[in-house]
Structure 1
């Protein structure tokens, strides 16, 4: 089967499933669920994929709302390439699917089914997997899945890619990446690494008026640490950030505070740079505690999110296939951008394990409404957003097809990934 035949097959399969996919998308959209509580989405997606011949493991990898769907359901050919499509489906507190994760799930399901059935028709070996990844919105679902073995380190003897695409507002392409207004799709999306630290200081309480010398002032330690971190900013790069607040500083002014805490968000362009900043911030906290005679405890409030590693070969082929879907409209599709958005996703952590794609595509929204804006919830449930997600799903399916069926591409992806 030639790529042109595969494209025809993928398009026909997605068209045939149109109404069923719409019902799936709408059910997730109108039933928003927070991270690790996506029970409706988990059950709905599991049943849908089972009905299409996938072998589904519910509550996979120790996470109650994770699912893993595999095709073929039986034995696979050892060493044949694999394409994993990541489906996110968690929503935001109060404002529902204002990040469009219902569309992410829909596109990945469409891609999985279309690719699996096309491979079956062509009698070509290869593995298609849909991994339902809960709690991207701060819960670090994919980080936990990495730790549980859901993503295995890349190996040439069993090559695998992890693929997904995220909706954004059309205007974000021009405002963020400075791309032409005609842009509707960016394959080589980049974003930064980040982590949030809670820094707690433990001192000793005493009466501030009567016997202050008996106390050990935890607030002094927190203020000293805050000052040290503020001074640290002049010694870090312009694309690195240290943002800090004092979120507890004592309970009464006539009592020496025995406890104080800081909340810090650290941002950097790469994993290595984030680790460096984190170690320097921790040194500020340790020094401040020593000066004040206090103890200090530093912990991550949630898993650190790493920067997205972009593999040019994947982005290039993805862009080619989206152009095909869009009828040859090259002005709408961009393969690569050097711009790095100052946001983070746990798909970045996956990209440090496997060659990955986290593309972004535009959907219509109200003026000024972008992801995490309540008005984007309405946008993510619109007819046009759904139709766009299906077209993106077709492009992702063809990217998976070419990775599985073109040894030259499989080799090129491996070379670029392992050498970066």
Structure 2
């Protein structure tokens, strides 16, 4: 029987209610996996506990549910893959396929402060709902759930891509928790890795802070759209994708002068109102401890490090004899800085790098760049359909399309979007890739909630509301997946931009 004639005979009018009923049974069995990894965070490439939680759940009856389970998939120790096929009696055609992506890596020191425990759960639940719907509606189709390690640090999806992990489907979806509901693009990203060497510890710190001042002065002066260059000090529990919520700077100089300088900065610069500091002494001098929001390197905000840099700037200008040290380690004479370079469109990334390079290649002894993350672009069909589904009576969520790119993601490697250089409109993609961001803040505007990578977002990602919103998000993605599998015309619309 041709697939098209089967699809037209399937009545999906009650699908939202079916998914809600299925979710009442399935979600409580899957939620503990996400809760367990929230309580047991593992950083990129080390997600063995998360890997085993999934493998154990889907290989032990009755939870297994007929999934084909691959542990340590595609040569990556913490990747996994679940596949399920339903072929009705007498059906001999090709099986339409939809793939879901799950992430589960955490951040150093601040755990699941990006909410990847919820991304894991979303992929598992959306895939499980889709699987059961194929059975219940007797639809021919294939479902893939791919466990994707190491999103935060070194682009695990790029390694999965190179291994052929995404070849099995033309459609891939992942949903990411944040503070508001939106279909929105994601930035392109590359990190500049700066090595700074001094003949002494004090010289290395002084040179590092000179470089930080130069980077700070680039704000608002860089080319292209939504461009930022955010430095991260590679000290302590360092993560190249997190601006620390605490920063220390030691100063050999007069305590009263130092204190009045910092107090003056805070009094005259409203941007630092949310950054606090304490002042004390140790055996080497005066210790300043700055604390505040920290958070995502995509945000152009004043962080504890920013106040530390401004303090250095003003102290060196007025007190050139002062010297500086890192209270955590006063013996090192080689320091590293990471500058996270973000811009809206992949095609602009080389231009931005070239604009930044003259500002970072004189003080460091070396400058290297890591793997560039391509931007993710929003395809129109899936985004518009999600809004319709989310605003329907069973989900009743406020949802919008947005042009703001809040962060970067390695999902861009899966999509491999090509845009028009003049209009920036999507021309083609290698896979129909969907990455909506869903809100887990009690206030739907996001007001009053920490953003991703801030320590408080970890707590938000473990709340009952966060799990409730994840359940809704999974239902919406499952509904769209079933529609694509059932209806060739919808599938054609979703995959219209794929390069042939």
Deviations 1:390-410 (A, max 9, x none): 121111101111122221222
CA separation of 1:243 and 1:390: change in aligned 2, threshold 3 A: closer
CA separation of 1:202 and 1:93: change in aligned 2, threshold 3 A: closer
Q: Aligned-pair distance for 1:281? A: 4.7
Gap regions ≥5 residues in structure 2 = 1-9, 200-205, 236-332, 417-429
CA separation of 1:333 and 1:16: change in aligned 2, threshold 3 A: same
Q: Which piece of structure 1 moves more, 58-67 or 404-413?
A: 404-413
Correspondence for 1:347 among 408, 411, 416: 411
The residue number in structure 1 matching 2:187 is 192
Mapped to 2, the partners of 1:260 and 1:379 lie a distance apart of 34
TM-score w.r.t. structure 1 length?
0.75
The residue number in structure 1 matching 2:166 is 151
Correspondence for 2:55 among 46, 56, 65: 46
CA separation of 1:33 and 1:78: change in aligned 2, threshold 3 A: farther
2:442 and 2:465 in contact (8 A); partners too: no
The residue number in structure 2 matching 1:361 is 438
Q: Aligned-pair distance for 1:69? A: 0.6
Gap regions ≥5 residues in structure 1 = 153-157, 174-184, 206-218, 249-257
TM-score w.r.t. structure 2 length?
0.64
The reply to whether residue 298 of structure 1 matches residue 368 of structure 2 is yes
The residue number in structure 2 matching 1:213 is none
Q: Aligned-pair distance for 1:142? A: 1.3
The residue number in structure 1 matching 2:394 is 327
Mapped to 1, the partners of 2:410 and 2:140 lie a distance apart of 30
The residue number in structure 2 matching 1:240 is 227
Correspondence for 2:29 among 20, 31, 35: 20
Matches within 5 A, 1:243-262: 243=230
Q: Aligned-pair distance for 1:270? A: 1.0
Q: Secondary structure at the match of 1:393?
A: helix
1:313 and 1:416 in contact (8 A); partners too: no
2:234 and 2:336 in contact (8 A); partners too: yes
Correspondence for 1:167 among 177, 184, 204: 177
Deviations 1:98-136 (A, max 9, x none): 222111111211111111121123232221000111122
The residue number in structure 2 matching 1:412 is 493
The residue number in structure 2 matching 1:313 is 381
The reply to whether residue 390 of structure 1 matches residue 471 of structure 2 is yes
CA RMSD of aligned residues (A): 3.8
The residue number in structure 2 matching 1:130 is 145
Mapped to 2, the partners of 1:279 and 1:4 lie a distance apart of 54
CA separation of 1:279 and 1:126: change in aligned 2, threshold 3 A: farther
Mapped to 2, the partners of 1:46 and 1:19 lie a distance apart of 17
The residue number in structure 2 matching 1:33 is 42
Q: Secondary structure at the match of 2:435?
A: strand
Structure with bigger helix share is 1
1:192 and 1:306 in contact (8 A); partners too: yes
The residue number in structure 2 matching 1:181 is none
Q: Aligned-pair distance for 1:232? A: 11
The residue number in structure 2 matching 1:9 is 18
Mapped to 1, the partners of 2:402 and 2:147 lie a distance apart of 28
1:97 and 1:380 in contact (8 A); partners too: yes
The residue number in structure 1 matching 2:452 is 371
2:86 and 2:135 in contact (8 A); partners too: no
2:99 and 2:169 in contact (8 A); partners too: no
